[in-house]
Structure 1
Amino acid sequence: MSGWSGERVLVTGGASFIGSHLVEDLVAEGADVRVADDLSSGEPENLAAVDDEIEIVEGNLKRMSFAETATENIDTVFHLAADHGGRGYISNYPANCATNMALDNVVYEAAAQNGVERITFASSACTYPTDIQQEKQRLSEDMVSFDERGGAYADEVYGWAKLMGERSLRAYHEQYDIDASMVRIFTAYGPRENETHAIVALMAKAYAEQDPYQIWGDGEQTRNFTYVKDITRALRLASENITDATPVNAGIRDYITINEVADAIFDRLDWHPDEINHMTDKPVGVRHRAADTTRAEELLGWEPQYSLEEGIEATLDWYVENRNKEYVQENLETLLHER
């Protein structure tokens, strides 16, 4: 395809953190955008910059009647809607995460019945086998296989649901000839993300001047924290360039420890705790995670543009501007654990 001008696009979960950034990008590119969201975790104010330029429909996409309405007269679907949260959430609410399998298939079925031309699915690094993430080994897309026995070993129920979302989308591509693409998102962060996710959780604790400052685990676990605008660009490029349901990673190649992120936040806020309490009894997920981005570079011409320093600066500036310090101090535990 050439450009998004005039393209009729549905973004499911479009009032969410990543979804709202994608909506803004698509509007800027000239697309005619509809957002479908149940607002369980998304916020209408996330779309404030473009709300007079888009259509917003509110409802539950697990209901076929609403999914049919949402996908009517649509060319392209970006399917981001999901029940999800940070590590604590997906560990504590596996049944909630399992409902994503129903959600994905209802959206795909409605899209197929309405003649949608292409679907791009927001998948996850949680699709990758957990046992290979204890050592530093960059994850490449072919480490997951549907074609060989033992080819899949996802990370908790959330990861299995995302993996089944990928497999289902490939099935709809095979049966209905819908153009399909999927992006495995690695540890996205940025403005509008909530405090249940790692970087914003670390920011909230520092902003509230929590002392002793709590870090889950020993802090030496690594993630490849990827700024949200790099993620949304990968989603758009995948939709533009991939039609055969080939998955691509969107993440950085660097291994960044939680301790390093905390130090960068302390420096930016010009505040340092007297004591750090490493809470080794808390769920921390896999030990190391970073992306092999070779396929994204080859198929999409994509590589991350934002450094960790730039991303933290932009995210922390947003957080301080939009959160009242006394409120965060009084409600810190609730903010860290509620979706």
Structure 2
Amino acid sequence: MIDWSKERVLVTGGASFIGSHLVEDLVKAGATVRVADDFSSGERENLDAVRDQIEVVEGNLKNAEFTDRATQDIDTVFHLAADHGGRGYISNYPANCATNMALDNIVYGSAAENGVERITFASSACTYPTDIQQNRKRLQEDMVSFDERGGAYADEVYGWAKLMGERSLQAYHEQYDIDASIVRIFTAYGPRENETHAIVALMAKAYARQDPFRIWGDGEQTRNFTYVKDITRALRLAAENITDATPVNAGISRYVSINEVVDAIFTHLDWEPSEREYMTDKPVGVRHRAADTTRAETLLDWEPEYTLEAGLKNTLDWYTTNRDREYVRENLETLLHER
């Protein structure tokens, strides 16, 4: 068990959607927190609640000198920084996503040189082989293997970069004896997420009263949408309980279709379009995705606490409070495709 009140913690990408929630959790636990972010997608406003209680250093973590400074006098690193976005972004900007491989190794190398005790890496469900996600089969961590020929077949360049981030961290654990843990995040959503990701994209379209309402694919593709506070709790528990870079899933086991999410959003907003337009030419990724969380339950005593209904309500309340409807309507296409 870690006494967070005695920990000096660095959160890379700490101004991001997930990162900022994690920072708040760590501050509440008493940790001394430093955030390193270049604010290319993270927002300063995300840190408003704890602004006076944390240190923020701005810079690009691909710059070794900056990363060296960021990791000095740190006990624990939560590495969330990455070039990423929703399905449209990772499909259209593979070279951007490929730079995450350099980013990860610069962070790990600086942490090792500066005597960091532990690193927790925010990985992704995109590390799983795509060919086993056409039918409903819950994903188990050992479905990815570095020891068997053909044991890896990740989802787009972003997934391969995350997978290499995992393998690199395992190598740093082996060579430098750094405590390491890996959390494979399954379709996180919640307040502060941007419109390039599925749930907030759908909320933005409904809030802007898009009609016909456009849905990528046929709407029957499924994901296991996981509320952000469940994700950040998994990250902290992984840091506390895993030292050998064993990966764990953080997701719900329920298959949720895009159509089901859309219906719930319309109900919450008390609005329904006259027509739904299914855009089957758009990138939608794998057909079905849900997590087997047996390992997280066993190693972390973790399971999701938020229902989809509660999480959607929290996220919609945040979105409609913090977004101007006319601005969203006028800038919808940009919001849906830019980080």
Task: State the TM-score, normalizing by the size of structure 2.
Answer: 1.00
Pairing 1:203–2:199 present: no
Could you say which residue in structure 2 is the equivalent of 1:20?
Answer: 20
Question: SS of the counterpart of 1:52?
Answer: helix
CA positional deviation for 1:333: 0.6
- For the residues of structure 2 that align with 1:320 and 1:226, how far apart are their CA atoms? 20
Question: SS of the counterpart of 2:51?
Answer: coil
Amino acid at match of 2:108: Y
Amino acid at match of 1:130: T
CA positional deviation for 1:274: 0.6
Amino acid at match of 1:83: D
Could you say which residue in structure 2 is the equivalent of 1:212?
Answer: 212
Pairing 1:83–2:83 present: yes
Could you say which residue in structure 2 is the equivalent of 1:322?
Answer: 322
Could you say which residue in structure 2 is the equivalent of 1:273?
Answer: 273
Amino acid at match of 2:44: P
- For the residues of structure 2 that align with 1:110 and 1:3, how far apart are their CA atoms? 24
* 1:231-275, Cα deviation, whole Å (9 max, x unpaired): 000000000000000000000000000000000000000000010
CA positional deviation for 1:6: 2.3
Could you say which residue in structure 1 is the equivalent of 2:159?
Answer: 159
Could you say which residue in structure 2 is the equivalent of 1:174?
Answer: 174
CA positional deviation for 1:159: 0.3
Count of residue correspondences: 339
Amino acid at match of 2:110: A
Could you say which residue in structure 2 is the equivalent of 1:117?
Answer: 117
- For the residues of structure 1 that align with 2:110 and 2:334, how far apart are their CA atoms? 36
- For the residues of structure 2 that align with 1:319 and 1:277, how far apart are their CA atoms? 23
Unaligned runs of 5+ in 2: none
* 1:6-61, Cα deviation, whole Å (9 max, x unpaired): 21000000000000000000000000000000000000000000010000000000
Question: SS of the counterpart of 1:48?
Answer: helix
* 1:123-169, Cα deviation, whole Å (9 max, x unpaired): 00000000000000000000000011111000000000000000000
CA positional deviation for 1:121: 0.1
CA positional deviation for 1:218: 0.2
Amino acid at match of 1:79: H
CA positional deviation for 1:66: 0.5
Could you say which residue in structure 2 is the equivalent of 1:38?
Answer: 38
Could you say which residue in structure 1 is the equivalent of 2:4?
Answer: 4
Identity %: 83
- For the residues of structure 1 that align with 2:331 and 2:2, how far apart are their CA atoms? 47
Pairing of 1:295-310 with structure 2 (within 5 A): 295-310=295-310
- For the residues of structure 1 that align with 2:10 and 2:104, how far apart are their CA atoms? 14
Could you say which residue in structure 1 is the equivalent of 2:92?
Answer: 92
- For the residues of structure 2 that align with 1:111 and 1:81, how far apart are their CA atoms? 14
Unaligned runs of 5+ in 1: none
Amino acid at match of 1:80: L
Could you say which residue in structure 2 is the equivalent of 1:231?
Answer: 231
Considering only aligned residues, what root-mean-square deviation do their CA atoms show, in Å? 0.4
Could you say which residue in structure 2 is the equivalent of 1:254?
Answer: 254
Question: SS of the counterpart of 1:153?
Answer: coil
- For the residues of structure 2 that align with 1:233 and 1:82, how far apart are their CA atoms? 20
- For the residues of structure 1 that align with 2:288 and 2:328, how far apart are their CA atoms? 30
Amino acid at match of 2:103: L
Amino acid at match of 1:137: K
CA positional deviation for 1:2: 3.2
Could you say which residue in structure 1 is the equivalent of 2:287?
Answer: 287
Could you say which residue in structure 2 is the equivalent of 1:52?
Answer: 52
CA positional deviation for 1:3: 2.6
- For the residues of structure 1 that align with 2:80 and 2:202, how far apart are their CA atoms? 25
- For the residues of structure 2 that align with 1:156 and 1:184, how far apart are their CA atoms? 16
Worse-matched range after superposition: 3-12 or 182-191: 3-12
